[in-house]
Homo-oligomer: A and B are copies of this chain.
Amino acid sequence: MKSAKRAVVLLSGGLDSATVLAMAKAEGYDCFVLSFDYGQRSLTELNAAKAIASSIGVIEHRVLRLNLEDFGGSALTDHSLHMPDAETESIPESGIPLTYVPARNTVFLSLALGWAEVLDADAIFIGVNAVDYSGYPDCRPEFIKAFEQMAALATRQGVEGAPIRIKTPLIDLTKAEIIQAGVSLGLDYAQTVSCYQADEAGRACGRCDSCRLRSIGFKDAGIDDPTRYQD
């Protein structure tokens, strides 16, 4: 017998997913946190995820090893591609950035769905965002809706008439609004790592796309940037 509503929360260790975890917790969910070690360059993100999950207080935190780098195709996981700096570089035909990991959110949500089914969870939380739109097809609201419909057909909960919901509390928020929401919930953003090339201590480069968007977010929010930079 479940005593409280349950959520599986996807946590990368970055700013967005940490905010989502704080939100799920504030909504009264018992949180089961899932992170992935998928061969990304920045393992410091995973250390950040562990610290965040521990600070916020979760029922369980699992890290799944997943060799997405076997598939190649992204500057985040393919070490032979260079890391885009400052300006967003894209695959010309589609406008999709080089940092796109093929089907990443589909894979992450599917694995979260497997765990959610076993836990008999009510929801899966994911920090996708359509405002500071990054050009990733799997960050669009229509993708999330389609995934939710598929999940309702894929699982026992759906068959029994109580499908698992996919919750995206950041979908309509600007980066500044996300930061304001997190700060109001007491989240310590110094624990989060957004940088594509953070050093082993979790300090950010200050130059990559992700650092740039994050820094602008703090400025727009009127909040001092607590990010630890390399210089």
Question: Within 8 Å CB of A93, what residues of B?
Answer: 160
Residues of A whose CB lies within 8 Å of any CB of B are 62, 64-68, 70-73, 91, 93-94, 96, 100-107, 109-111, 113-115, 117-118, 137-138, 140, 142-143, 146-147, 149-151, 153-156, 158-160
Interface of A is mostly: helix
Question: Within 8 Å CB of A114, what residues of B?
Answer: 68, 71, 101-104, 106-107
- Report the bound CA distance from A143 to B159 in whole Å: 11
- Report the bound CA distance from A62 to B67 in whole Å: 11
- Report the bound CA distance from A105 to B146 in whole Å: 16
- Report the bound CA distance from A69 to B63 in whole Å: 13
Contact status A113-B103, CB under 8 Å: yes
Given A64-B67, A102-B113, A103-B113, 18 extra CB contacts under 8 A: A64-B70, A65-B65, A72-B118, A101-B114, A102-B114, A102-B115, A102-B117, A106-B110, A107-B113, A137-B153, A137-B154, A143-B150, A143-B153, A146-B149, A146-B150, A147-B150, A149-B149, A149-B150
Task: Supply 20 A–B pairs (Cβ within 8 Å), ascending by A.
Answer: A62-B70, A64-B70, A66-B66, A71-B118, A103-B114, A103-B117, A103-B151, A103-B155, A106-B114, A107-B110, A107-B111, A109-B110, A110-B111, A137-B153, A137-B156, A143-B150, A146-B150, A147-B154, A149-B149, A150-B150
